[in-house]
Amino acid sequence: MILVADDDTQIRDVLRIALGQAGYTVAEASDGRAALEAAQSLSPNLIVLDIGMPEMDGLEVCRALRKSSDVPILFLTAQSDEVDRIVGLELGADDYVAKPFSPRELVARVKAILKRSAAVVPEAVTLRRGVLTIDPERHLCHVGQTQVPLTAREMELALHLMRRPDNVLSRPQIVDQIYGTNVHVSDRTMDSHLRNLRAKLTAAGCADAIETVHGVGIRMGACRGV
């Protein structure tokens, strides 16, 4: 199920039709508070969330959801609201589409996010490096005994680094591996996910989890912890 939250009836109609034609069941919410309640009661597979809504804006809804849920979130933003897009990504959103948008592009991004979310789970092998442990099958990340809640995008980024701990990966390589080669992703989007991942691991006591090789890319650090 896809939850579409937007106060514009026309946009909800367009997305209901486009997502329905793509085979998805769609639920709708017309304001932020209704979106939060629907997300908590319906447990959707993904939320298309407009930032500028009454009652609660999309950023507030995302912030509230991320306290207890890692449901994928695709933000709808105004073309000029770059600050809101970056804040949304830093709060844990998975992607964004700027208005006006192509329904086909939005459906393609929804499919890509859901595919990536499913791809987080496939390997049953638990990965360990120093104090950092990632269990992809159960979507769990721990620093020592501390559980670190990660979004699907942050988990996939961590897994790509953990599976090649001694390899330096450039930003284009990471973008291609996580988003695929047919989706344009800005540097700011990738940087936001990386910054979020680093901040969460640092807060849990593993500040050396990701190492920057200046001018080249990033790789796993020693993960010695504190």
What is the model's pTM? 0.59
Mean pLDDT of 214-219: 88
Every domain of the chain and the residues it spans = 2-119, 127-220
Contact 46, 78 (CB under 8 A): no
Mean pLDDT of 83-89: 80
Q: What are 105's two structure tokens?
A: 């592009």
Contact 153, 94 (CB under 8 A): yes
Each residue's pLDDT tens digit, 7-28: 999 999 999 999 999 989 899 9
Q: Regarding beta strands 146-147 and 140-143, do their DSSP bridges make them parallel or antiparallel, or are they unpaired?
A: antiparallel
Q: Which residue would you say has higher pLDDT here, 27 or 170?
A: 27
C-alpha span between 124 and 174 (Å, rounded): 22
- Beta-carbon contacts of residue 43 (< 8 Å; ≥ 6 apart): 71
What is the maximum alpha-carbon separation in the chain? 52
* 86 — pLDDT class (breaks 50, 70, 90): confident
C-alpha span between 53 and 7 (Å, rounded): 6
Each residue's pLDDT tens digit, 105-117: 999 999 988 887 7
Contact 201, 148 (CB under 8 A): yes
* 184 — pLDDT class (breaks 50, 70, 90): low
C-alpha span between 159 and 129 (Å, rounded): 11
CATH 1.10.10.10 fits 127-220, yes or no: yes
pLDDT of 205 > 90? The answer is: yes
Mean pLDDT of 48-54: 92
CATH 3.40.50.2300 fits 2-119, yes or no: yes
Q: What are 42's two structure tokens?
A: 């319906």
Amino acid at site 40: Q
C-alpha span between 108 and 213 (Å, rounded): 33
How many CA atoms within 13 Å lie on the side-chain side of 65? Answer: 34
Each residue's pLDDT tens digit, 128-141: 999 999 988 888 99
pLDDT of 173 > 90? The answer is: no
* 121 — pLDDT class (breaks 50, 70, 90): very low
pLDDT of 123 > 50? The answer is: no
